Amino acid sequence: MDSVRIGLAQATGTRPEDWYLAFKARYGMQQVFAALSSRKGPGAVLTQALTCATAVDPIVAEGLTPVYGDISAESLALDPAALPAGEPWLAVMIQHTFGVVDEQRARELAAAARVRGALVVEDAAHALGRMARDADGAPLADVSIHSFGSEKALPTKFGGAVWVNPALADAELRELMVGMLENLGAPGTRLRFAARTYRAQLAALRRLPGGVASRLRRALTAAGLFEPAVAPAELEGRLAHADVGASSWVIAQMAAHLPGLASLEAGRREAVGVYVEELGDLVPGAAALAGQPLIRMPLLVPVGVDADAVVSALAARGVYAGDWYRPALYPGAKDPAAYGYREDAPELGVTRDVIARIVNLPTGVTAAEARRIAGLARGVIGSARSART
């Protein structure tokens, strides 16, 4: 049993043999939905629009229909008090956005799913090694999906892991899932090259003029020599690859960095605590976030303030403030209809409001740097409000 599975099991209080590795988390997720589709036939998966397109691509790619529920502004995940009516769901996604694990809402979502006979899928891409738990402390989900990918908890860039609950009620579905996850194909030569050279390619591209870099990046991507975080196909309801397991090099990278997760999380908790102290009035449910190792710190700018202008102003001051997840299905679906998404859907009012106002701050910084960034953010937002009035 390799050290990655053992490390994940130790972090989560699970068994190593229930973990399965993939080249990226999305390819592990694809197997989950492929098994579900094969076992149950076509049907709906309840998910959210405040997410990355790559979290919905596996649903669409396997012939299932994403249905979007509204979110809670506090958890940035599906709101169990605002679940859509209509056809039954085959699965419900519980997303730990930015690493926010809202235990109570997750339990309510899981209960609603199980009443309907739906699979509970935990998207823990931002919460590597953490799981929502039931009242007895057991993992809540039927399937939990974790990411070692780009801009996640570790600097690994590639890799994903899927945990399948050994107590899953549908034993035939579990067997089908496990069989698919165990038989993921090896990445091809070009994909292995792209993974191994990813950092060097990024460094080289950043040294080139913007236009040149963009053209070269597109050419390398088209040739299969550069593997972007989100491929063009993955903005169209498809996946760039399919059924791809983790290469030995990717597994080695995961194994090398996983032991450092606890230390990185300690630093992030400290930064999040500073942000909560300094900017808590801009963060719904801020108190519940204080002890969590978020990979980004989300805040909502006041109504009427241009969130993009805030991000740009912070960038001008040397702060990388992200725009995840603005627009919906980040970084923006080429054809929202391919995802069954309607921006004007009346039931998604909170989602639209959050998308319009969300800005996220870096947490991989020292407490002192977090305090400096918080001050800059406060000043930029204050200036934007003054200009508006």
> HEC string of 52-100?
EHHHCHHHHHCCCEEEECCECCCCCCECHHHCCCCCCEEEEEEECHHHC
CATH number listed for the domain at residues 259-388: 3.90.1150.10
Alpha helices by DSSP H, listed for the chain, are 3-12, 25-40, 57-61, 103-115, 171-182, 189-196, 198-206, 210-222, 248-257, 261-279, 286-289, 307-316, 349-357, 367-388
Backbone φ, ψ for residue 111 (5° rounding): -65, -45
CATH 3.40.640.10 positions along the chain are 3-182
For the chain, residues classed under CATH 3.90.1150.10 are: 259-388
Per-residue confidence of the chain (389 residues) as pLDDT tens digits? 599 999 999 999 999 999 999 999 999 999 999 999 999 999 999 999 999 999 999 999 999 999 999 999 999 999 999 999 877 999 999 999 999 999 999 999 999 999 999 999 999 999 999 999 999 999 999 999 999 999 999 999 999 999 999 999 999 999 999 999 999 999 999 999 999 999 999 999 999 998 999 999 999 999 999 999 999 999 999 999 989 999 999 999 999 999 999 999 999 999 999 999 999 999 999 999 999 999 999 999 999 999 999 999 999 999 999 899 999 999 999 999 999 999 999 999 999 999 999 999 999 999 999 999 999 999 999 988 776 65
Exposure on the CB side of residue 12, measured as CA atoms within 13 A: 33
Beta bridge partners of 144: 122, 163
Across 233-248, b (16+ Cβ under 10 Å) vs e yields ebbbbebbbbbbbbbe
**Tokens representing residue 376 in the block:** 């800059």
Q: What is the pTM of this model?
A: 0.96
The CATH architecture to which 3-182 belongs is 3-Layer(aba) Sandwich (3.40)
Cis peptide before 330 (omega within 30 of 0): no
